[in-house]
């Protein structure tokens, strides 16, 4: 191989060794981001649309009566 190609190969190997651990965790972090977002929005929608309103009203009225 010629000299510039040797330098390029060595530099790219060095760069890949340095960046490989971070690149390996990227798909895992994307999965965590997607799953965390789904969990967050799922709990918000569950509370807003399927929350038990009667239970919340009873708890707030009993708190007022106790005070």
Domain count, the chain: 1
Percent of the chain scoring above 90 in pLDDT: 9
Structural domain includes residue 40: yes
Structural domain includes residue 18: no
Structural domain includes residue 12: no
Structural domain includes residue 63: yes
- pLDDT of residue 11 exceeding 60, the answer is yes
- pLDDT of residue 63 exceeding 70, the answer is no
Structural domain includes residue 9: no
Structural domain includes residue 41: yes
Contacts of 9 (CB under 8 A, 6+ apart): 1
Distance CA 54, CA 49 (A): 13
Structural domain includes residue 10: no
Structural domain includes residue 37: yes
- Structural domain of residue 49, as residue ranges? 25-67
Comparison of pLDDT for 63 and 34, the residue scoring more: 34
- pLDDT of the residue at 2: 80
- pLDDT of residue 34 exceeding 80, the answer is yes
Distance CA 39, CA 31 (A): 12
């Amino acid at each position: 191989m010629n000299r510039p190609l040797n330098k390029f190969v060595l530099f790219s190997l060095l760069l890949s060794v340095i960046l490989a651990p971070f690149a390996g965790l990227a798909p895992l972090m994307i999965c965590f981001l997607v799953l965390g977002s789904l969990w967050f929005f799922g709990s918000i929608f569950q509370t807003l649309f399927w929350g038990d309103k009667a239970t919340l009203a009873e708890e707030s009225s009993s708190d007022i009566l106790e005070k």
